[in-house]
Structure 1
Amino acid sequence: MSKKSLLRWLKEGQINIPAVLLSQYKDMKINESELVLLLHVMSFIEKGNDFPTPVELSSTMTITAAECTNILRRLIQMGFIEIIDGYSNDGIRFEKYSLDPLWEKLISSFLLQEKQTETNVQRQEEKDIYTCFEQEFGRPLSPFECETLAMWMDEDQHGTVIIKAALREAVISGKLNFRYIDRILFEWKKNGIKTLEQAKNHGRKFRQYQKGRPKEEQGNSEPLPFYNWLDK
């Protein structure tokens, strides 16, 4: 290949295609012909032609100008392309394609998928925590226990990690009942504990406090247990 050929190749330039467009176009109801035409419109815009004609578009594709016209019309109707008209500083009227609607829809589609993924993860975590409780209790949860567990997550806004931590505390303490777990969660929420690391630090401080108290006081009080199970 000659230097002139390489120079022409470089002058062709390149277009940046968001990877999310390739992963989302199917969900956005865009078919392959429409996607390729959109990419060609992007390419023309990058090269300074903001309003390529169907003839110009078809010259770079394997479809006719009439087919390009139909696809363009369909993309406009679907709200992926917008035609903007106006006047230049010289008073010359112009028209150009805008792909802003495409990017806006792409962002919305991406955020919707992210939200759906988060919802699915949350549902799976909630399902897992019910299973975790049933395994520790060795039986199916009663309707009241299921309601209490849901209340901890929905009303009290306890994370599943913290609820599992409180369950583990109850198991180690040999006090496996919902009332005891609720007391632990209440104590942790009062102290602003929302993560495992915070629970670990709180447990360490509690034990240091307990060591510094007289034995008589330790025997008379019934504090909530904080075992160092997080280190295991």
Structure 2
Amino acid sequence: MDQLTQAIINGGQTTIANVLLQHYREIGLTNAELLVYLQFKRLMDQGEAFPDANQVAESLGETSNTVFQHLHEMLAKKLLTIESITAADQKIHDRYNFDGLYEKLALALKKQPSEVTDTATASGENKRQKVFKSIETEFGRALSPMEMESISKWFDEDHYDPEIIELALREAVLRQVYNLTYMDRILLNWHKRNLTTAAQVEADKQRGIENRLNSAPKPQRQTGGKAWPNIPLFKLGEDPDKQ
């Protein structure tokens, strides 16, 4: 048996539906993202539920940051999720789930949505991507897959408005705390106080400033840095005890 035949047998096969190759651009998948997906699927078909992004990057001749960026884009477009499962060894493991890719593909094969719906969907995805990019810019690094999944949950499970998340990011940056845990506490605090829009958050902050100003002690009238003494008034020559 020659070397090529041996490699083919040992490497196994990765099957890709032709319908995906025909319509992948209709579901928002770019050429680069498709290649990333194929590499991840190859490793997953070989039994790796959570393949190493560095291994994928090596196969593609790209940097790991580039691969993470493509994963981030697929998470933002709901083509990918990251799940935590309990394996046979009773330990919790992470795994990639690309079911969203095929769910969108099924929708794409049905009747095309109206222009209004299509525009609204595109607008929503753009806002999500803007949030991801803003966080990466402020943190000064690429987000990890788990961080990407956490941010996606803010949208899909907690239904936070993108502008609210941007405000939480601003609060974290002002305090020089560059992590999602701190942002999550801010968002949860606003949610408990029923502050669900950026306008409500800004109004609440303004009320807080006004309340602090109103409750501050009023300064005494001073001249030359000293307070005036409390001096009783009476005419010269009069007995002050008779006043």
* TM-score for the superposition, normalised by structure 1: 0.46
Tell me which of the two structures has the higher relative contact order, counting C-alpha pairs closer than 8 angstroms and 6 or more residues apart.
Answer: 2
* TM-score for the superposition, normalised by structure 2: 0.44
